[in-house]
Amino acid sequence: MTTATDQPAGTERWHVNRNHRHITRHPEPEQWTDKWAVEAFTEAEKLHGTAIHEAAHTVLFCAAGIPIYSVTVRTMSEAVGTIPSGETNRGPFRATLQDVLAALCAGERAEDRWLRETGMWTTGRAWAAERSALNDRTEADGFIYQAAGVFLTCRSNGTWHDLATLHSHTDQVIAKHWASITDLADALVRERHLDAQQIASIARIDNPAAAS
């Protein structure tokens, strides 16, 4: 993933994190030990944020015609070591690149919207949501390079493969599916794991995996 040294006039500033590998819309906290400490969530709040993140991936993948076999969330005490706090298990697919990129960006953008709607948004929490989406961004970068031979950029310059452009488009798609995302997230908080049929029923969306 690349960045520009000069920011175009009238656009937001991107922030190179201190490890010089990660770029975020929001500034990195001055001092931090781990993202969970920055977020300062209760166990229940963190679980709900994770559920929103995974539900957004799930719904937008299904909307793109991509099969989702299951989705799982875990509490902070369960997600230790290499065990992830959330997993969306998708199957093989052929889909429009823009739809795939929106689905990959959906987790962090849905988290940001949820934080704002619940009154829990802070710069630190928004930054942590971005850092939690690094694998999603890396995967998006790979799809972009495979399709067009260019990289995901962070310049806010309006090109189709720029993260600011992708975020703007993703926000619009999320808005269309927000009720399905929040309903699926609520169910995930209760059940922790949902299969393909449950996803389709709760989110009221076609899931190719539910027909297999």
- DSSP secondary-structure letter at 23? E
Consecutive H or E run containing 71? strand 68-73
Return the CATH fold of 34-211: Methane Monooxygenase Hydroxylase; Chain G, domain 1 (1.20.58)
**Helix and strand tally (H, E) in the chain?**
7, 7
Per-residue pLDDT tens over the stretch 122-173? 999 999 999 999 999 999 999 999 999 999 999 877 899 999 999 999 999 9
SS (H, E, C) 164-193: HHHHHHHHHHHHHHHHHHHHHHHHHHHHCE
Per-residue pLDDT tens over the stretch 73-98? 999 888 878 788 999 999 998 899 99
| Count of other CB atoms within 10 angstroms of residue 147 | 12
Per-residue confidence (pLDDT) for residue 13, from 0 to 100: 79
**Which pLDDT band, with edges at 50, 70 and 90, does 10 fall under?**
very low
In the chain, what percentage of residues exceed pLDDT 70? 94
